[in-house]
Amino acid sequence: MNDQSVQPNNPLYFDTLDGCCKKIIEKMGNKPIAEWRASDYNTLSSLLGQQTKVYLSENTLKRIFGRLKTSQRYYPQLATRNALAQFIGYRDWQEFELVYTSSQISTKAEEPLTEEKNQPEAEKPILKKRVLLSPVMIGFALIVIVFLLGFFLYLNKEQGLNSVKLVCENPFGNVPHTAVFALKSDRAFDKEEEFKLDCMEEALPATITGNDKITRFFKNPGVVYVTLYRKDKAIDTVSICLQTKGWVANSGNDTSRAYPIANLKALDPKNIAVSAAQLDSAGLDTKKPFLIGFSNIHPSDISGDNFSFSTKVFAEQNRPGVQCIETTIIILGEKDRHLLTLFRENCVALSRYTFSELKAIGSEEFLGNLAFNASNGGEIVLSVKNKVVTVILNGKKVLRTKYQKSIGKVMGVKILFNGIGKAVSPELRDLNTQALF
């Protein structure tokens, strides 16, 4: 019954519309519609707009109430009917239809809106004429009710599942950290249904139901965006912040083991580096390709959409088993991150960037402007102002782009190198307050 292109002579549709109109009149003080003046229609339009954000003109309201002469009875579009139903306390027109039709199955149409019996035909208010429902109409209405009820229950179930939220009971911790996850919803849902957790390769994926509390182990400093999936659709994300005390270093050859360097003790912020001896003490096999990560992780009030980051970096000229030496800058926010991965000119196809939802990969589009050789030192400036990103390499502006979705407040900075690298005096500054991270 919610088709917007109904036939104007269908009594079922107009009977329901008239029932809605009667309830609106009751809400407006039960003044007979024949006595309404321009001020009454304007008052209804204002109240309707305040409650539903849908504003209707005086003439539109008169057509809905049958007070404006037209060749055919006016039947409003679905958006207007939804607003009318919401105005009298229903979620939408479909819900009002279901309730109203159910109440009319074994009765006559609504009573007249006025007790006046001898008004001229032109002055008769809406709902004056009684319509007796035939057995065919009753059968049709029953079929519609069963269909709408089933659809209504299905929507309730889907809305319940879509309102399921992922909750972490301890989202802030040091390294290593065991986080506890559970599901929460303000609507009913099948607590035996399975959902999936994706931990960005920082921990093993997991299956969770509404009755579960599960844990995941995190071993690296940083911010992990744990995403909840239902049938391969992401429905919620929470952030796990693995904090540090200043700049620390860690490394690894694979995702299954982590190698905290110098026991994750704070490094000199003016010269962030580690030695081959420290790597050996950490148990790292330097004969295999490895990645060094320098991390400074803690909550802040700095917007991830308005800041400037700068540093000078030094990367190795070459490393056994590695053809292309990577330098990566990551700004971690509450909701998402900015990532800039740079390579020398001959490996620029591996370059990439991610600024919130905006992504580019050198293997899919040419990023030649991002060619960067830091073997003898190189300067990187990453500026974000009102979601407009500017990248400056060695004093030259090489990229300007814009993203849409905020990453929230800055929670951390990471600088990554293939092999042994060094960062000199990295600085992240709030563009509004000039506060330092």
212 in Cβ contact with 183 (< 8 Å): yes
- 340-389: pLDDT as tens digits: 999 999 999 999 999 999 999 998 999 999 999 999 999 999 999 999 99
pLDDT of residue 68: 81
pLDDT of residue 288: 83
Mean residue pLDDT of the chain comes to 85
Between the alpha carbon of residue 430 and those of residues 162, 179, 405, the distances in Å are: 36, 30, 19
> Going by C-beta distance under 8 Å and a sequence separation of 6 or more, which residues neighbour residue 117?
none
Token readout for 408 is 């929230």
pLDDT of residue 241: 96
pLDDT of residue 166: 95
Rounded to whole angstroms, how far apart are CA atoms 20 and 9? 18
| Domains in the chain: boundaries | 11-161, 165-242, 248-430
Query: What CATH number does domain 248-430 carry, 2.60.120.200, 2.30.30.110, 3.20.20.70, 3.40.50.300?
Result: 2.60.120.200
Position 428: which residue type? Answer: L
105 in Cβ contact with 142 (< 8 Å): yes
pLDDT band at 10 (very low <50, low <70, confident <90, very high): low
- 144-157: pLDDT as tens digits: 777 766 665 555 55
Query: What CATH number does domain 165-242 carry, 3.30.450, 3.40.50, 1.10.3470, 2.60.40?
Result: 2.60.40
pLDDT of residue 109: 43
Element (H, E) at 272: strand 272-273
- 332-350: pLDDT as tens digits: 999 999 999 999 999 999 9
DSSP string, 298-355: ---S-BTTEEEEEEEEE--S-BTTBSS--EEEEEEESS-EEEEEE--GGGGGG-EEEE
Average pLDDT over residues 210-237: 92
pTM of the predicted model as reported, rounded to 2 decimal places: 0.64
pLDDT of residue 129: 47
